[in-house]
Amino acid sequence: MPIVKLDELLLGVKNNSYAIGSFNVSNMEMVMGTIKAAEELNAPVIIQIAEGRLRYSPLHTLGPMMVAAAKEAKVPVVVHLDHGGTIEVIHQALEIGFTSVMFDGSKYPLDINIEKTKQVKELADKYNANVEAEIGRVGGAEGDYASVDIMITSVDEAVKFYEATKVDALAVAIGTAHGNYKEVPKLRIDRLKEIAKVVACPLVLHGGTGLTEQDFRNSLENGIKKINIATASYDSVAANVKKLAKDKPDFNYFDHTDTVMMATYENVKKHMLIFGLKDKA
């Protein structure tokens, strides 16, 4: 099964009964665990790395590994740059063979976000790759960046942004935030419905960690086609490595490798089942 583009997967979601999971990875074990879950469930998958995490996982090493793993997978895999902030890193990801990049211009005023996103779209087109952008602002912190407050996406701005940029996917802020929630989030499904009615491209939900099964269902039934999960995988890995150290104090390096892979696999599989992805490859 070849590495595929984002629009191939997202436009393939015809009725609102499932959404594609997009899982952050930081090393080979996490890549392997994520693809293992996808293959076992016969599900399409997106693997992604955020620019804010490259301090730990340099793109020139992790990126080619992600592309190689995708090419070997038995299910369709998109290799995506999450929260790209600089044209240099976006360019590097495209050179490596990523089939999709996100430009996160949510910190800019609308007109500047539009201008910068258009530049990214022009660049990605040269590589036959797709672009995700963000309008409004998802809260919390992704990677090394400072935490930001949620700014719910305005319907008018979403329309204006999409018409000007024609991006392939649009991340909307409907009350979610990156990282673990300090308070129970209240999702603005009403706003999501309004946006989905008037914006023609697939919509993306960031900040998936900590949402309930009902939150996920409400989101995908009302227009979300891509759901991002990062912290839940990292927390699953950390918890299972701690457990390994407790249960088997003399563990060796390869016990650790297996633990990281399986902890990722378990978390990805759990979310894929909630997102309705079984046999959707």
Contacts with ligand 13P by CB under 6 A lie at 24, 50, 82-83, 142, 178-179, 206-209, 228-232
CB of 227 to ligand 13P, least distance (A): 8
Please name the residue ranges forming H helices in the chain. 6-10, 28-41, 59-72, 87-96, 110-126, 155-165, 189-198, 213-221, 231-247, 253-274
7 vs 104 by CB, closer to ligand 13P = 104
CB of 100 to ligand 13P, least distance (A): 13
43 vs 204 by CB, closer to ligand 13P = 204
229 vs 263 by CB, closer to ligand 13P = 229
CA–CA separation, 112 and 105 (whole Å):
8
201 Cβ contact list (under 8 Å, min separation 6): 162, 166, 167, 168, 169, 170
CB of 254 to ligand 13P, least distance (A): 28
Burial class (CB in 10 A: 0-12, 13-18, 19+), 157: middle
44 vs 207 by CB, closer to ligand 13P = 207
Within 13 Å and on the Cβ side, how many CA atoms surround 44? 23
Active-site residue, from 82, 104, 168, 215: 82
83 vs 269 by CB, closer to ligand 13P = 83
**H/E element holding 181?**
none
Q: Would you call 82 a catalytic residue per the annotation? A: yes
CB of 152 to ligand 13P, least distance (A): 16
For 101-128, letters b (16+ CB in 10 Å) and e give: bbbbbbeeeeeebbebbbebbebbeeee
CA–CA separation, 93 and 100 (whole Å):
9
- Please report, in angstroms and rounded to a whole number, the separation of the first and last CA atoms in the chain: 10
Is-contact 203 225, C-beta < 8 A?
yes
CA–CA separation, 187 and 224 (whole Å):
12
CB of 197 to ligand 13P, least distance (A): 24
Active site residues: 82
